[in-house]
Amino acid sequence: MELTRSQFNIIKNNSRFKVIVAGRRWGKTHLALYDILFRSKQPKQKLWFVSPTYRMSKNIAWQILKDMVYSVANVIRKTNESELSIEFINGSKIELKGADNEDSLRGVGLNHVILDEFAYMKKEAWTEVIRPALADKKGGAMFIGTPDGFNYFYDLYQQGLNQENGFMSWHFMSKDSPYIEDAEIETARLELDERTFRQEFEASFETATGRIYYTFDRQANNAEQPYIKELPIKLLVDFNITPMSWLILQTIQRQDFIIEELVRRNTNTEFMAKLVGDLYGYNTYFQVYGDYSGSYRSTKSPSTDFDIIRQILPRCDFRLKPNPTVIDRVNSLNSRVCNTKGERNIFINIKKCPELTKDFEQIVWMEGKREIDKSNMDRTHASDALGYYIDFEYPIRGGIRSKQW
């Protein structure tokens, strides 16, 4: 994929600090890697690409960077797979990092840094760690990402609009990219709720405070759908001990109906699996969705939570993938509850699902943060169970379904 004229103009701009706010699929990471490769042509440059987590840098950028560099392999001195670094014969070096380990970013002088998806990083990662690392070499930075409420990314964007302190800002919608078809954007418009669409595809800064599942309406999303024995049961599980919340869901013509919730305190996976067996039959076929960490063994037990479920409910089809970010899971769920066309695709039995109903109506963001307020220990568990299912079957962002057995 070649650079667009807009992307090329950003790279050639001589502003020290560049802030690019862009919608999904516009080509943000592509621009960032081209920018850092252009800078590597100068000798003895120390260059970093930083994502919110080390894993994100590896999964999103590492292979793309190698493909771009290997097209001119004669300039490479060494590639280090374990450190995610490429050293060039002119002494320049590109390294991929994660902002989740701030201490690993300290004490290094930098010529230039890319901060990818900066809206999901702590302010201090820039102000206390990376910005000082640029001081001695008078290095620059590119902040790039999609909005996530009115956080520090928004503040830097405003600085760039006003061209303050060496900042310059740009704004692009997804439709501004020649590489994404209009039909794809219209499909997203149908799938997402209005606020999420504006944020993700129009790169609009939307308020992130207040009620999280704002698309839920207890009348519009209520349906006393009875259990249909001929349809598969989708068992949605959350492994919190007290309360432990499992949901029974069935899909009818692509609409999801939560039949009932099973919530118990001070319990365990074995008890809950037997409860499901007593209610719906031990030899019933179940499609199970849940927390990916439930597939890990610990030093305390040779069995995972999912192993225990299968021992009791032998006809289980486990559908798991690594847990998404909280905001991705929330956005996916909101879009199924009600999308921008006013279409509702999730219905719950209010009478039989009181805890899930409370989750939808009571869970809020922590003030000034993109984190869920978990001060009420009873909240989030039922909605988490539903969120794992929604993210697997209807994810907003693409991904590989990594476990299904």
Residue 152's CATH number: 3.40.50.300
pLDDT > 50? residue 299: no
Crossing angle for the helix pair 269-280 and 305-312, nearest 10 degrees? Answer: 30
Whether residue 189 is contained in a domain is answered as no
Q: What is the distance between the terminal CA atoms of the chain, rounded to a whole angstrom?
A: 36
pLDDT band at 62 (very low <50, low <70, confident <90, very high): very high
pLDDT at 3: 87
State the average pLDDT for the chain: 88
Of the three residues 153, 179, 205, the one that is the final residue of a domain is 179
What local confidence, expressed as pLDDT, does residue 257 receive?
98
- Tell me which of 164, 179, 194 is where a domain ends: 179
Query: What is the predicted pLDDT for the residue at 296?
Result: 56
Same domain, 165 and 279: no
- Which pLDDT band, with edges at 50, 70 and 90, does 1 fall under? low
CATH of the domain at 337: 3.30.420.280
pLDDT classification of 401: cutoffs 50, 70, 90: very low
Distance CA 175, CA 182 (A): 7
Is residue 170 domain-shared with residue 247, that is, in the same domain? no
> 275 pLDDT band (50/70/90 cuts)?
very high
Residue linked to tokens 């063994």: 297
**Quick count: other Cβ atoms within 10 Å of Cβ 220?**
13
Q: What's the length of the chain?
A: 405
Pairwise CA distance, residues 79 & 323, whole Å? 30
**Final residue in a domain of this structure, among 135, 158, 179:** 179
248 or 303: whose pLDDT is higher? Answer: 248
Q: Are 141 and 18 in contact (CB under 8 A)?
A: yes
**Residues 104-118, mean pLDDT to the nearest whole number:** 89
Residue 108's pLDDT band (boundaries 50, 70, 90)? confident
Return the pLDDT at 208. 41
Q: Per-residue pLDDT for 33 more than 60?
A: yes
Average pLDDT, stretch 336-350?
94
Residue 187 domain-assigned (yes or no): no
Q: Over range 216-221, report the average pLDDT.
A: 90
Tokens of 104: 């690993």
pTM of the predicted model as reported, rounded to 2 decimal places: 0.56
Number of domains in the chain: 2
Same domain? 158 vs 90: yes
| 26 and 101 fall within a common domain | yes
Q: 369 pLDDT band (50/70/90 cuts)?
A: confident
Structural domain of residue 153, as residue ranges? Answer: 5-179
Please write the tens of the pLDDT for every residue from 153-173.
988 998 999 899 999 999 999
Cis peptide before 314 (omega within 30 of 0): no
Q: Answer yes or no: is 238 within a domain.
A: yes
Helix (H) or strand (E) holding 308: helix 305-312
Question: Of all helices (H) and strands (E), which one includes residue 79?
Answer: strand 76-80
pLDDT band at 300 (very low <50, low <70, confident <90, very high): very low
Does residue 199 form part of some domain?
A: no
- What is the CB-side half-sphere exposure of residue 367 using CA atoms within 13 A? 1
Biggest alpha carbon–alpha carbon distance for the chain: 70
Rounded to whole angstroms, the Cα distance separating 93 from 285 reads 54
Quick check: 235 pLDDT over 90?
Answer: yes
pLDDT, tens digit, 9 for 90 and up, residues 179-194: 888 898 998 888 888 8
103 and 168 housed in the same domain = yes
Same domain for 146 and 292: no
- The stretch 129-146 carries a mean pLDDT of 94
Q: Are residues 170 and 22 in the same domain?
A: yes
Q: Are residues 244 and 101 in the same domain?
A: no
Question: CA–CA separation, 206 vs 188, rounded Å?
Answer: 17
Residue with the bigger pLDDT between 383 and 294: it is 383
151 pLDDT tier (thresholds 50, 70, 90): confident
Q: Are residues 171 and 241 both part of a single domain? A: no
Q: How many CB atoms lie within 10 A of CB 306?
A: 23
Position 368 in a domain: yes
Distance CA 390, CA 377 (A): 23
Q: Give domain status of residue 210, yes or no.
A: no
Question: For residue 150, what pLDDT is reported?
Answer: 66
Average pLDDT over residues 378-386: 93
User: Are 140 and 246 part of one and the same domain?
Assistant: no
Q: Would you say residue 268 lies in a domain?
A: yes
- Residue 212 in any domain: the answer is no
Residue 134 φ/ψ, nearest 5 degrees: -90, -10
Residue 405 pLDDT > 60: no
The full 3-state SS of 244-287, as one line of letters, equals EEEEEEEEECCEEEEEEEEEECCCCHHHHHHHHHHHHCCCCCEE
Residue 13 banded pLDDT, cuts 50, 70, 90: very high
Tell me, yes or no, whether 23 and 111 share the same domain. yes
Q: What is the mean pLDDT of residues 386-391?
A: 94
Does the pLDDT at position 24 exceed 60?
yes
Q: 44 and 144 in one domain?
A: yes
